[in-house]
Structure formats: C-alpha cells, structure tokens
Chains A and B, each alone.
Chain A
Amino acid sequence: MTTTIPSADDSGVSRAEYCAIACAEVFRGDGEVMASAFGTAPAVGARLARLTFAPDLVLTDGDAALVVGAPPLGAAPSSLVVESHMPYRKVFDVVWSGRRNLIMMASQIDRTGNQNISAIGDWARPKAQLVGVRGAPGNTVNHSTSYWVPNHSTRSFVDQVDVVSGVGYARAVAAGPAATRFHEIRHVVSNLGVFDFETPDKVMRIRSVHPGVTVGQIEEATGFDLVVPPDVPMTRLPTPEELELIRTVLDPGSLRDREIRA
C-alpha cells in the first residue's frame, strides 16, 4: 500500500529540524520529570520542549548535574547554572521512581517495540558487539521511553531484534503486571517519520511522515509490516518561534545537520 505524500517542502525547514520537532513532541504533556535525550535531534527536541510547551521539564548537563533552563548544544560548563546534583547513583533513584522521560537510540528496533543496543547476531558469539544493554531493560519497565533512529533501514527496523535490551509491548505483557505497570514506548522517531504503538495489539504504526518522504519509502525501508492508517499526516511544521529557537538559540552551530543531512 502506498499513500502519496507531497515531496516538495517549500517551507525551508530541513529534515533535521522536522526530526527535532518530532523529538520535542515526545515531551508534550510532561511535568517535572527528568528529560534525557541521546543523539542530536533528541537533544535539540528536549531543550525546545523545555523552552516552549513543557516548561517544567528538568534537564541535565550530560554529566552529574541538573541545570536551569535549556542550555545550547555544546554550551561551556562554566555557562551553566546548576540547580541540583545528579550523579549516576541518584539517576537510578529517578529512573526507578518513574520521574523521567527518555529518548534512547536503537541499533535495532522491532514491530512490538523491542530495542537492541547489545549485540548483532548470536549473543554468545556476536557478529558485532555493541555497547551493551546499558540501562535499557530497567528504563523501559520504569518510565516512558522513546527511540531515535537516524538511519531508518531494514537493518535498523527489523522483524525481531537480536538481543532484547529495551523491552517492547509483547515482552512486557509476557513478563507480567510488574513489567507492564509503568511500561510505555511512546514514540519512535526516525529520519523518515514518526511511529507509535497506538494500535489494538500494540504493534508499530506510522504516526506521521516527514515532509518529502512517502509511506512507500518507509515501508520499503522497514523489515516488517507497519500499520498504516488511512490518512497518514505529515510531521508538523515548527512554528516560527520554534524555528528561531532551534536555529539561533539551541543549535547555532547546526550540529543537527551533521546527524541528518537535509
């Protein structure tokens, strides 16, 4: 099935900026929770949300502190105003309390939202050792988690991930109520579109396509059948205020364009 999407985008908004807006939307409705964001578009998005529609979000300095406001990417540590200490030991307190909303990256993600950052191939002797499961198992069963995949392809969107690091819907259900109680995979943002699990059986659905991308292109780049609603919206345009914040305040050095080419 192919829905035609207008490919021309005469707004002057880059793909990276649509990705940043899509990442910001992950934090809509959040109150005083710690926003953690890995990758450039998520880092811009979390800051943008903080400066606009989610003013109570709590951001970190990327090290061991919570900071006031939304510092630009790459801000000098001396320019940051620290409001609280947040060493790793306290990060676990936050994770386990649920006061966190996170965008992680995924080397692989599958139809039910399982994520892999551990290893590609057979875990016992992997074809490629990745970083390790890190905090993904604990994050996903304790607080809302979303994913950022800057290279949408059949290698990253796979039928089944090789090592379940972050827990998807079916696996959480199988593990029982203690696993589902606080489990939420909110969105998956890729360089092609935005995805969610708002279907009766909690499998991945296209939520929006970025302008210039077709549903057909997304289906071709995905290693499993996506749920495609009858009318697929486009990822929303940033407002003029948001665009100004992205371009002149949060990412004046255009780091976003190094992650996602226009």
Chain B
Amino acid sequence: MSLDDLVGELRSGMTIGIGGWGSRRKPMAAVRAILRSGLDDLTVVSYGGPDVGLLCAVGKVAKVVFGFVTLDSIPTDPHFKAARQAGAVECMEIDEGMFYLGLLAASQRIPFLPTRAGLGSDVLRLNPSLRTVTSPYDDAEELVAMPALRLDAALVHVNRADRNGSGQILGPDPFFDEVFLGAADRRFVTTEQIVDTEQFASEGPVQTMCVSRMLTDGVVETPGGAHFTACVPDYSRDEEFQRAYVAAASDPGEWSAFTARYLEVSEADYQSAARGSGAAPGDPRGEPGSATAKGGGR
C-alpha cells in the first residue's frame, strides 16, 4: 500500500492515534501525507511531538488528547503552543500513565482501568467527564476510572516490517506502538524497509519483532519516514532540521517558505529537500511510498 492508499483509509472527524514518543520514531511520512490531504477535524491521540505540532499548524486538528507535547531536545512545540494559546484546539490533557491505561483498556475491550494517577490533580478538574471508581474489595479505595481511548485509526513507524504486516522495532524502546494498534479499528504501519520475514532474525532478537500481523491492516515502506524525529538505529533525530522547523514557526514568511519547500511536496521531494542531497536517510532502498500492501492491498 502507498501513503495515498493509507490516507484514503482515513476520514475527516476521525480519532487517530499516532505512535512514537515526543520527537522519537514518529510516523512522520504518514503525518505529512495527512497534511497534504483534505482531511480535517481530527482528534489526535499522541505522546505528542512534531506530529501534533504540524497537524495543528495546518489546521487539521479539532482536539488533542495528550500528556505532553515536546520535541525532546527543545521543550515545547511552537505550533502546538500557538494553537493552545489561541484557544484553537480542544484538549484532553491527562497523566501519561493514564494515557497508556486508556489505550490498554481500549485494546482489552473493557470500559476503563483503575489507577491512582490523576487523583488530586487538575486532570480531573479539567476533564469533567472523568469518573472515579470505588474498589469493591475491603480496601474501598477510590481510584480514577481511566476510560478506554478507542481509536478509529492508528499510525506507527517501525524499523522493519514484512509484507504480512509484522513489524520489528530495533531501537531500545518500543514505546506504546503495540497498544496504539490494539486500541484502533484500522491499523497502519509505516517502515524504513520492507524485508522478507526470514531477514528479521538477522536484524535483531525475537523481542524486537514486537508488532504482530494480528495488529496491522496495512504496511507502507517509507525510507526516512520518521524524519526529522529519531529512528534509531537507522538514524538519530535531525537536530538541525528540528531547529529550522522551530525557527520557521516564529515568522509567517519563513513558515510559508518552510511549507512550500517541505510540506506542499511529495514524500520523495520532501526526502530530497530535507536531506539536501537527494538521498533518503540511511540508504536509498526504494522509492518512498512505493511498496507493498498487506494481503494484496487491504
């Protein structure tokens, strides 16, 4: 499947979960494809990084569900900041552990999971729909009942995947990608490289093969597809590009130049422009977005 096919599976108004964490292993090629699309009015559920910032910058977002939005080496994302300070997006701001439990509850098809996290904080004041639950056992503790965060679609980016939709994460932290996929109705994986399944074993041990094909509906090969976020060990964060992204946000003229150069172009042209030399990060393994559909094009 291609990036266009992936976007074709999404609809305006959907609740979309985006994997990765901060400015790390974000499915940025898929985000860029959404930026170019006619989709809008999205609810974005994310351990937020520049995915949230970019989607806010172009007005695709109605609501953000988040515990933080950060660029890691730069504390905040300028576009998310601007959207918040303009009151332009609705928000559900929750503890990052509550966020995990919400996805887990959705993936387990239960209405909520209990947790101490949130008790006493303004998370409950700012989200009046959140409820507490009293333990039915002798302790009778009153805990937060974190509701399931059901997703219409989930997008994650992994280092390697096969044609059947199994994914391999070679970096040290798989983050919560599996839980995002488990919580979603339509599940899409973008990957640095589609490989034959037999190749997984030469790339890393079995615990790196953490995304089961039971959790995926489609795979897109997008070399450099997490750029400019980190996708170790294939590449680290492009700090220089990230700084340019932040700098461009401070001036409307610079931002429209940034948009014209990087966002209103195809993924292949983005990769050429972003890398300056025409080479995709890592190695030029194939045309971005060209490759494979799981199960013959689902």
Enumerate chain A interface residues (CB-CB to B < 8 A): 63-65, 85, 87-89, 92, 95-96, 118-119, 123-138, 140-142, 163-167, 171-172, 174-179, 181-183
- Known contacts: A123-B126, A129-B81, A177-B141. The answer to whether A88 contacts B93 by CB under 8 A is no
Closest 8 CB pairs of A and B: A138-B117, A132-B68, A175-B120, A137-B121, A64-B172, A125-B87, A167-B120, A179-B119
Interface contact A164-B120, CB-CB below 8 Å: yes
B67 interface residue (CB < 8 Å to A):
yes
| Chain A residues closer than 8 Å to B117, beta-carbon distance | 96, 135, 137-138, 141-142
- Nearest CB to that of A165 among chain B residues? B121
- Known contacts: A123-B122, A178-B119, A179-B116. The answer to whether A133 contacts B142 by CB under 8 A is no
- Nearest CB to that of A183 among chain B residues? B120
B7 interface residue (CB < 8 Å to A):
no
Pairs A–B under 8 Å by Cβ, sample size 26 = A87-B173, A87-B174, A88-B173, A89-B100, A89-B175, A89-B176, A92-B100, A95-B97, A96-B115, A123-B126, A128-B85, A129-B80, A129-B84, A132-B68, A135-B96, A137-B119, A140-B121, A142-B116, A164-B125, A172-B119, A175-B119, A175-B120, A176-B141, A179-B116, A181-B116, A183-B120
User: What distance in Å separates the Cβ of B206 from its nearest Cβ neighbour in chain A?
Assistant: 14
Name the residue among B143, B172, B174, B176 with the largest chain A CB count within 10 angstroms: B172
Residue in B80, B81, B122 whose CB lies within 8 Å of A163: B122
B278 interface residue (CB < 8 Å to A):
no
- Nearest CB to that of B75 among chain A residues? A131
The A-B contact count (CB < 8 A) is 141
| Chain B residues closer than 8 Å to A174, beta-carbon distance | 120
Q: Give A119 to B125 CA distance when docked, in angstroms.
A: 14
Residue in A87, A96, A140, A141 whose CB lies within 8 Å of B175: A87
The proximity string for B residues 79-91 relative to A, scoring 1 for CB distances below 8 Å and 0 otherwise, is: 0110011110000
Interface contact A138-B172, CB-CB below 8 Å: no
Enumerate chain B interface residues (CB-CB to A < 8 A): 21, 48, 66-70, 75-76, 80-81, 84-87, 93-98, 100, 115-123, 125-126, 141-143, 172-176
Q: Give A126 to B87 CA distance when docked, in angstroms.
A: 8
- Nearest CB to that of A91 among chain B residues? B97
Residue in A89, A126, A142 whose CB lies within 8 Å of B84: A126
Interface contact A138-B120, CB-CB below 8 Å: no
| Chain B residues closer than 8 Å to A128, beta-carbon distance | 81, 85
Q: Give A88 to B177 CA distance when docked, in angstroms.
A: 11
| Chain B residues closer than 8 Å to A123, beta-carbon distance | 93, 122, 126
Interface contact A178-B116, CB-CB below 8 Å: yes
Q: Give A131 to B143 CA distance when docked, in angstroms.
A: 25
Interface contact B116-A64, CB-CB below 8 Å: no
Interface contact A134-B100, CB-CB below 8 Å: no
Q: Give A79 to B142 CA distance when docked, in angstroms.
A: 46
Q: Give A63 to B116 CA distance when docked, in angstroms.
A: 25
Interface contact B116-A131, CB-CB below 8 Å: no
Residue in B94, B142, B176 whose CB lies within 8 Å of A88: B176
Interface contact A65-B116, CB-CB below 8 Å: no
User: What distance in Å separates the Cβ of A72 from its nearest Cβ neighbour in chain B?
Assistant: 20
User: What distance in Å separates the Cβ of A98 from its nearest Cβ neighbour in chain B?
Assistant: 10
Name the residue among A138, A167, A183 with the largest chain B CB count within 10 angstroms: A138
- Nearest CB to that of B179 among chain A residues? A89
| Chain A residues closer than 8 Å to B87, beta-carbon distance | 124-125
Interface contact A141-B120, CB-CB below 8 Å: yes
- Known contacts: A92-B100, A131-B68, A134-B96. The answer to whether A165 contacts B122 by CB under 8 A is yes
